[in-house]
Structure 1
Amino acid sequence: MYTAQNGFDVRGVVFDDNSAPLPGVNVMVKGTDKITSTNNRGEFQLKNIQANAVLVVSSVGYSKQEIAVNNKTDVRIQLKVAIGTLDEVQFVAYGTTSKRLSTGNVASVKAGDIEKQPVQNPLLALQGRVAGLSVTQTSGLAGTNLRINIQGPNSLRSGSNPLYVIDGVPIDAQLPSTGLDHVLSSSGANFNGWGNPLNYLNPADIESMDVLKDADATAIYGSRAANGAILITTKKGKAGVMKFDLNMQAGFGKMTRRLKMLNTRQYLDMRYEAFANDGIDWTRPSVSAIDLKVWDTTRYTNWQDELLGGTAKYTNLSASVSGGSNTSRYLISGTYHKETTVFPFPDDFADKKGALHFNLDANSANNNFKLQFSGNFMADNNQLPQTDLTQTGLLMEPHAPSLLNEDGSINWAPDANGNTTLSDANVMIQRYNRYVNKTYNLVSSLTMGYTVLPGLDVKSSFGFNYMQTNDFSPAPHIAVAPELRATTERGAGMGDRNIKSWIIEPQVTYSTAISKGKLELLLGSTFQDKKARSGYVYGSGYATDELLEDLHAAADVTASIFTISRYKYNAFFGRVNYNWRDKYIVNVNARRDGSTRFGARNRFHNFGSIGGAWIFSNENLVKDKARFISFGKVRGSYGTTGNDQIGDYQFLSLYNLVNTPVPYQRITGLVPAGLPNPDLQWEETRKLQLGLDLGFWQDRLVINATWVRNRSSNQLLQYSLPYVAGFTGYTVNFPATIQNRNWEFTVTGRIIQKRNFSWTSNANLTIPRNKLLRFPGLAASTYAAFLVIGEPIDITRYYRYIGVAPGSGDYLFADKNGHPTVAPDPATDRTVILSRLQQLYGGLQNNLTYKGIQLDVLFQFVKQPGYNDVAFWNGNRYPGMFIRGNSNQPVTVLDRWRKAGDNASVARFRTGEVPNIISSDHRFLDVSYIRLKNVALSWGLPQQWINKARFRSVRIYVHGQNLLTITRFKGLDPEAQSISSLPPLRVLTFGLQAGF
């Protein structure tokens, strides 16, 4: 249909690489206001088009194309999946976008980067890759916790963990305790928790992880996303012939660093000198000094080699089958993983996991009906020692007796009277005092949708999460010294944790072209119900060690810490997004939340946000005058989110059960456990963020800068009560405000793009600043001891260290007036305020490819304060003291005071505690580090080679983790900063990927 006046009509269809139709694709006539979108069958129509018109075709996740009409009335357009950072798909709450069109602050990490790292918690694959996200691994043991923080801590007491959403299903950020969590409950010196749920999700099953940071991206999640959100999307099948993929990986892990500790001669001299300094004759019978009187003083053992010098072995096998047609696609994968530890008896201490993942994605022939069903299941059998052996490996006396006899049995090293001189200092008992954690985790989701009218879709998602944990912790007689067995009962603890959660989210979406732009509307609601049960029972009085796993064999059984809770949550939410010609974008979110964690007076609350973006690079002035700017966008957002991470039933009167040996009239008693507060309200975070995104020279260089100001108020804290009240305190809202003001920078450069060689570099930098902005009545509250207006919320007060007194050899500190003293007053002389929050962090990634060879290198860097030396994170174990199994010291203590006039860095040796030094600022210095976090080298065999063997693809690779660390820190690891937990290991793995 052609006329000279009106031109002609153009019809067409848009499809993807697999010839599947693409709905919702924008089709615009270049240089005009004519715009339309494809329907569910990928079809579009434009009227009155000139013969020389050019169509601009764009869709989230696909490369933009310009198609010349050339008098054609019927066109077919194939879009290619975008490989540039600006057009890749980003998953956001209840939808998708791209970095080019996003109004929010969102960062994405794809499967290609995740699978390069030999880690079992997928959150570790985010380290050093995302601006504004801090991930700290505080232990090298399998299954232990992580410290996760997005844009700084927002709460004084409530949790600062982000919201995790797996295929639309929200899961707990922290797992409830069973009471027997042992090493899983304490992951390093900086954190206590009960385990991260993503330990039970297979990283190999993940397609992408999207980190949502600002209010525009998170406000639609309401009360659950004050600390940000991490959306995890698992892998899906693709249309095409059936494909079978196999991945085999094996490797090993070792400690990254050894410390120089005192040898036997140095240790003995330290002990003799300490007794002499204190005027004590250690040879007197009344003086207990088994290390000098009983143990062989000519013996030497390097306990770091003995207890921490082993090799952890890694094995990972995975296989998947995928394929399908334009109307149905499937993927099924399975994974087996095993890793041991560097501790002795690695076969006894091992983590074994089996995972199954499936996804079914289907649609009707006309694309009106869509269905997606996915599931992720993992069974984990983690066997660990009840106590981490790292501290003993460092501090065990160098001449302590051998821990095992020649026949492999426990050596109790008895004295002349037959009493053990090792007792529980012999950590080899952990072979029998083991901790077994068996966890089964299922996350499944079902989404069904139907297109009622063009642009109008209805859908509903159904999610289910089930987690069951059973742990076992025995106390057998074989782990007790022989002379103590007659007075020691055998026992065993059995813990249980059960979580069942379901969620239903019906939604309606509508999209249409309005006034040269595209309008998208979303309305939905959330209904969630979660039941959690946790606790443990302890059996005692067993007749033999062999029956410890049978609770019926116990003479006495005691139940303890048994809790049952139920959490209900519902919400109504909506979103309006308007995109005018890919120049001006406005996004408005609103949500009304209801939570059973608050009383009837404040059970519901409103949250919302507004975000906007101006893509100024699409303005004609920029196109004409600044052609080197290929992309430019200014964005900003403001909104509110909430936090209800206070536990259940805090607004009610709480009671605990009392178990007594002889209950009165067989009735179990109750004791008050918590005072009610029906006025509890939500913590609220107001987020203001502004950003600038620039692309140069066809986006070969992309720079992102974001300014962040988050303010959290209405803090949920414990209000202290006098002892006569019968309670130490109860939960109330304090009018305190916390501010996080940060700068985030990201730079991506495609430095070289040749046919056979490419080099891409990504860098990110975060400069966080946290402080307590206001706290009315702080001076009169109990929080005045550890909170200061204008300072970070984690501060601690310390004495100011001066040095070692040349005359006496004691440590000197400054009192409140600056005068030197050896005995500072804890009430007035703690004049130094220190924070251990990170001051700067980021990462640098380089990816180089040459033909089939690919090299990926990731550096992570952190600027932070930390512990000065091993001697100062050794608690009150002062050089010269004897605490069985924990008395050795680093060689740095040899620079001690010995006589009057000495200029020393360490005070004179003593046999008793010197607590003031660990309460001074001498304990700290800058322990920033740069770490070669990951190296991945792979080679894809040439196609002509593998075609002969009928392979689709073959790739061999080597992956390295934590390979090199540059730091001033003198301890084992600047990230964990602990002697009580195993640091992250250096891991090297080798693997083969094959596709059929």
Structure 2
Amino acid sequence: MKYSLQHFTGAVCLSFWIGFQPGLNAQSIALAEVPLHPRTQETQVQTQSLIGALKNLEQRYDVTFTYMSDLLQGKQVAVGEYTGEDLEQALGELLRNTDLSFHKVNKHYYAITPKPLPRKEQSELVPPLPRLHARSSPQLAQLRPQSVMQVITGKVVDETGEGIPGVNILEKGTSNGTITDIEGQFSLNVGDGATLVISAVGYLSKEVPVGNQTSLSIQLEDDVKALDEVVVVGYGTERRKDLTGSVASIGAESFNTGVVVAPEQLMQGKVAGVNIVQNSGQPGAASTVRIRGENSISAGNDPLYVIDGVPLQFGSDNMFVSSTQGSSPFASQATNPLNTLNPADIESIDVLKDASATAIYGSRGANGVIVITTKSKKANETITYDAFVGMSAVRKTLPVLSASEYRAYAESNGLQYPDEGANTDWQDEIFRTAISQNHNIAFGGGTTTSNYRASVGYTSQEGVILSSGLEKYTGRLNASHKAFDGKLRIGTNLTYGRINEDNTPISSNINNEGGNILKDAIRWAPTLPVYNADGSYYQLGELRINPVSWVDVDDERYTGFFLGSGDVAFDIIDGLTFKLNGGYSDASTDRYTNLPATHPSGQSQNGRVTIAKGRNYSTLFESTLTYNKELGSNTSLTLLGGYSFQRFVSEGTFSEANNFVSSFVKWNLMQSGETRANTSFKEANRLESVFGRLNLRLLDRYLFTATLRNDGSSRFGENYRRGWFPSGAFAWRISDEPFFQSAVVSNLKLRTGYGITGNQEIPNNLYRQQLSISGSAVYVLGGQAIPSVLPTNFANPNLRWESTSQLNVGIDLGFLNERFSATIDYYRKHTSDLLLAFSTIAPSVVETQWANVGEVQNQGIEVALNATLVQSKDFTWSANVNFSRNRNEVLSLSNDEFTRTEIRNAPVSGVVSNGARTQIIRPGLPLGTFYGRQFTGFDESGMETYLDADGDGQADEVVIGSAQPDFIYGISSSARWKNFDASITFRGVVGNDILNNTAAEFGYTNGAPGINILRSALDSPVSRDQIPQFSSRWLEDGSYLRLDNLNIGYTLNTTSIPFLKNARFYVTGQNLFVITGYTGYDPEVRANTNQGGAAPMGIDYLAYPRPRTFQLGGSFSF
């Protein structure tokens, strides 16, 4: 086995120290390494070697013991001598009748050393240090008298000020050394001008010149890379060094900071191959997450989320979003129940990207898997409190005409316009400085067998647009218990969150312009006032509404999410563990809208109210059997087998009424109005699975992984209800080969894997023939119209999940003991059996038929670079860079039975393209391809001209751009100088196009009287006779570089405050600047509207702008 430099240094230093003790010879050293998460417990026998007993404890408590083999050789323990429930209690019992003691290095490492002798015995038994050195080295004996010896005392502490036992203290260039005692203190006789080398497992080594000092205080920093050895994978954990697949991990210390509502925003810009787009700046709006590109056209593209072992399918693609929206008068950004999780409760996020890592989740693994692990009680943790307050403001406004410019423009063109003598900046009127605050309290406790961690959180976030914001309440309890000498382990995780949103009216519904505060703020003439003389809103009518008056319209949404899980694990025999896992999730969204009769938007209907309620809940039962076996030196086998059953239920209602006697009651008395709609639905689906995995580690350098899962889903036809999803992977750690010797390259591992995963995220019951009530086909009986029931689709017993095969080849590199590291992956994903809807042949009462037709391919490269640039006593500096390039291509839309040459999609609204489909799906092109007229300029009369390649006098429709970026990247860096710390994150996209439909809407000069325009419209030669057209004129380069996050903190020295363990104050800035050529509010956009559950990419039509935010906060532990 190859050990890290710290392991080796620690072992050597410990050998020398023990070698100085009477009767001991440091001839060999044993370092046992095991994963840091629970696995199995060795079976206790009647008699057992002390070494074997320690190995049992290593497996039971997931720790590593460092010791000299000679110290333990031949020592035996009897049954019952280490039955303590707590590790340190068990160690105490185990070593009670020996001449050994233990020292805790940190929560994962312990040193086994001889018991210290009384000072009198030491003086009698231990020879004076010069004589000891003379015995061991005659040359040293000749040199020592020439130098002045001095006694150095000191204490070694961690970053919290706690003493560290078992630290190796070595005089540089000699074998003279010692280790710290249980309180971190040491004493060592050194020569004149000595330098001490300080090292400990799990900490960064450092050198300290003694100089004229006789007493030293030394602080060591955690070696995050050394401790971060375990990653969470499907149904278990693995050492990072043993991974064969592509898995990225990010811990809480690296999360993005500031106003973060959604969990995925914690890792935005931090993980190669993961593109996270914040669809809107509206508080609570969902983000779009894509791992290695878009795989599907009609099914979901969101990854599977696994929270504390419970798989959940929530995201902007999920039907939960659209089913609860009904026919609300306002469109709004999708909501994600995951937003109800408290980011402060999350310990780590692991992203499973390739098939080797995701195949264990079978038909839900094609889009990748995001594993979220929440925090449990930490050692010595009692109470922590985190809080911040922040201010947000819009980063930029669109350059429309001022009042004076508007008057000059209108008068020069002979236009009639309303002029009340005002000079109103309508964007300034609807935007505001928004205040946010956040409070989190966590506390934990426990005994030797039980522990818990509980937390509560509160977030209040105002939006930068009037009448928008949210309040968020969260609570969590994680608890665990051990019994029967640690063989039985029980755990539970409970969380509930609720978000209350106040949404501002923003709509881009096609042919259903229910209201848009942004649109009205841009187009309203600046010559009009906000208020009349009597204080009422100045209005022009129902079609053009005073932007500020939209605050009188209600659009409220309440999202709740409960997640509970529990697991029971039992070690049946040595290495064999049986585990049961159960979970229940319940997500609900209630949305209420009110257009009062007193507002122009509701005058024609005498008030309009809607109520939409939706609920998704699921139950989970899983059982696994895991077998771990050490097969010899550095060789092990792990087998996992399991069964899973999960049931999902979706239900909802929608009600609408108008013509109210009074708008005062809003939605609380809908029966006082006339009912316009009253609908409901309920549907369910089930997933039953069996799965298995084999992990084989040969000689600690040849790694094999094989996975197989069989899924049965009720969403698919009877002929394809079950499917198999296999994968295999191999990794070779070349750096551990005997022939590989390098002082520079500390890690070199090659990885390759291939597997098949699926995608079942489609609406329920598509394989069945479904019926619906027709509003157009009616029968008249007795003078009364009777609606008919008609089929909406044909049955298809062959309907099945989309299948994605993926090849991954990667290399992991480490230099100078992981001070510099790199991970490079190439992948190729091929998705077949796409779920598409086809038009049926007339005559038929059914218009469409669903079938598995079509193929999409993604291939690309990912690079992640990490470096510790500076590492010294007072200053450390590290940096991380990730880069991803993905190429998406539609390969086919046809098969032997169904044929389709192209699909026109991405319809948008507005003056330019009201209902126009702006993108095309066609074999040979990527998803998100813009298709339309190629703008070539203006003719002499100011009319737009377009490409006409064939000269037929008609503008050609051609490919004019792509919303797919050439590559995405992220750059982050962190530094610490004494008590100050700082971190910064940049994020960027290169090469994508954006349809700036906002500019197109207000970029023509032929608008109606009283409509304002962009200042750029006056700079163009466009004629007022030009009819607005969708063309490449309105496509812009969407590339950008964003300073996403900047955090600067200061940690107080709390040693003089007895009740305070730690205190840190910080300031954070988010979205501080964006370097881009895009002229809209923000280049990070997707369309407002959902289309088949997914928002088209690269379309900006009046998107809620992302604000610039500053926070001031503090973190305290007691």
2:402 aligned residue: 263
Which of 498, 505, 508 aligns to 2:615? It is 498
Q: Is the 8 A contact 1:380 1:440 kept in 2?
A: yes
Matched residues in 1 for 2:649 and 2:735: separation? 51
1:455 aligns with 2:575: yes
2:957 aligned residue: 830
The within-5 A match list for 1:408-557 is 408-412=535-539, 420-421=540-541, 424-480=544-600, 485=603, 488-516=605-633, 517-557=635-675
1:139 aligns with 2:139: no
Cα-to-partner distance string for 1:357-385 (whole Å, 9 max, x where unaligned):
11001112511000110111012211112
Q: 1:274 to 1:575 in 2, by over 3 A?
A: farther
- Which residue identity is paired with 1:938? G
Matched residues in 2 for 1:874 and 1:178: separation? 31
Cα-to-partner distance string for 1:136-170 (whole Å, 9 max, x where unaligned):
01211122222110000011221111101111112
Find the structure with the greater CA-based Rg.
2
Which of 158, 173, 179 aligns to 2:299? It is 158
1:908 aligns with 2:1023: yes
1:251 aligned residue: 390
Q: 1:155 to 1:39 in 2, by over 3 A?
A: closer
The within-5 A match list for 1:677-716 is 677-716=796-835
1:216 aligned residue: 356
1:652 aligned residue: 768
Matched residues in 2 for 1:849 and 1:336: separation? 30
Matched residues in 2 for 1:107 and 1:838: separation? 22
Q: 1:990 to 1:723 in 2, by over 3 A?
A: farther
2:369 aligned residue: 229
Report the TM-score when normalising by structure 1. 0.84
Q: Is the 8 A contact 1:749 1:762 kept in 2?
A: yes
Q: Is the 8 A contact 2:453 2:477 kept in 1?
A: yes
Q: Is the 8 A contact 2:424 2:530 kept in 1?
A: no
Report the TM-score when normalising by structure 2. 0.76
Q: 1:662 to 1:601 in 2, by over 3 A?
A: closer
1:359 aligns with 2:478: yes
2:172 aligned residue: none
Q: Aligned-pair distance for 1:61?
A: 12
2:861 aligned residue: 743
Q: 1:782 to 1:96 in 2, by over 3 A?
A: same
1:179 aligns with 2:320: no
Higher deviation after alignment, 132-141 or 782-791: 782-791
Unaligned stretches of 5+ residues in structure 1: 1-28, 188-193, 276-281, 283-291, 413-419, 898-906
Q: 1:32 to 1:992 in 2, by over 3 A?
A: closer
- Partner of 2:803, secondary structure, is strand
Q: 1:693 to 1:293 in 2, by over 3 A?
A: closer
The within-5 A match list for 1:39-438 is 40=40, 67-73=67-73, 79-80=108-109, 83-84=224-225, 87-114=228-255, 116-173=257-314, 174=318, 175-176=320-321, 177-180=323-326, 186-187=332-333, 194-240=334-380, 243-271=382-410, 292-296=416-420, 298-308=421-431, 310-344=432-466, 348-364=467-483, 366-387=485-506, 391-392=518-519, 395-405=522-532, 408-412=535-539, 420-421=540-541, 424-438=544-558
Matched residues in 1 for 2:332 and 2:1012: separation? 24
The within-5 A match list for 1:771-920 is 771-776=889-894, 781=900, 783=902, 786-805=920-939, 807-817=940-950, 824-825=954-955, 829-867=956-994, 873-875=998-1000, 877-883=1002-1008, 887-897=1011-1021, 907-910=1022-1025, 913-915=1027-1029, 918-920=1030-1032
Matched residues in 2 for 1:231 and 1:183: separation? 37
Q: 1:441 to 1:787 in 2, by over 3 A?
A: closer
Cα-to-partner distance string for 1:518-568 (whole Å, 9 max, x where unaligned):
111111011111111023111223211122222453243244453211011
Q: Aligned-pair distance for 1:116?
A: 2.2
Which of 1035, 1045, 1048 aligns to 1:937? It is 1048
Matched residues in 2 for 1:874 and 1:374: separation? 49
Q: Is the 8 A contact 1:245 1:994 kept in 2?
A: yes
Q: Aligned-pair distance for 1:479?
A: 1.1
Matched residues in 2 for 1:411 and 1:725: separation? 53
Q: 1:313 to 1:494 in 2, by over 3 A?
A: same
Q: 1:709 to 1:293 in 2, by over 3 A?
A: closer
Matched residues in 1 for 2:487 and 2:823: separation? 38
Q: 1:326 to 1:530 in 2, by over 3 A?
A: same
1:16 aligned residue: none
Q: Is the 8 A contact 2:649 2:684 kept in 1?
A: yes
Q: Is the 8 A contact 1:700 1:749 kept in 2?
A: yes
Q: Aligned-pair distance for 1:760?
A: 1.1
Matched residues in 1 for 2:753 and 2:359: separation? 11
Q: Aligned-pair distance for 1:257?
A: 1.4
User: In percent, how many aligned pairs have the same letter?
Assistant: 26
Q: 1:667 to 1:914 in 2, by over 3 A?
A: closer
Q: 1:890 to 1:43 in 2, by over 3 A?
A: farther
Q: 1:314 to 1:216 in 2, by over 3 A?
A: same
- Partner of 1:549, secondary structure, is helix
- Partner of 1:266, secondary structure, is helix
- Partner of 2:1078, secondary structure, is coil
- Partner of 1:752, secondary structure, is strand
Q: Aligned-pair distance for 1:265?
A: 3.9
CA RMSD of aligned residues (A): 3.3
- Partner of 2:598, secondary structure, is helix
Q: 1:958 to 1:130 in 2, by over 3 A?
A: same
- Which residue identity is paired with 1:684? S
1:951 aligned residue: 1060
Matched residues in 2 for 1:60 and 1:836: separation? 52
1:8 aligned residue: none
Q: Is the 8 A contact 2:39 2:577 kept in 1?
A: no
Q: Is the 8 A contact 1:246 1:318 kept in 2?
A: yes
Q: Aligned-pair distance for 1:675?
A: 2.3
- Partner of 2:479, secondary structure, is strand
How many residue pairs match? The answer is 900
Q: Aligned-pair distance for 1:352?
A: 0.9
Matched residues in 2 for 1:889 and 1:232: separation? 47
Q: Which has the higher contact order (CA 8 A, sep 6+)?
A: 1
Q: Is the 8 A contact 2:883 2:968 kept in 1?
A: yes
1:5 aligned residue: none
Q: Is the 8 A contact 1:144 1:183 kept in 2?
A: no
2:690 aligned residue: 572
Q: Is the 8 A contact 1:63 1:87 kept in 2?
A: no
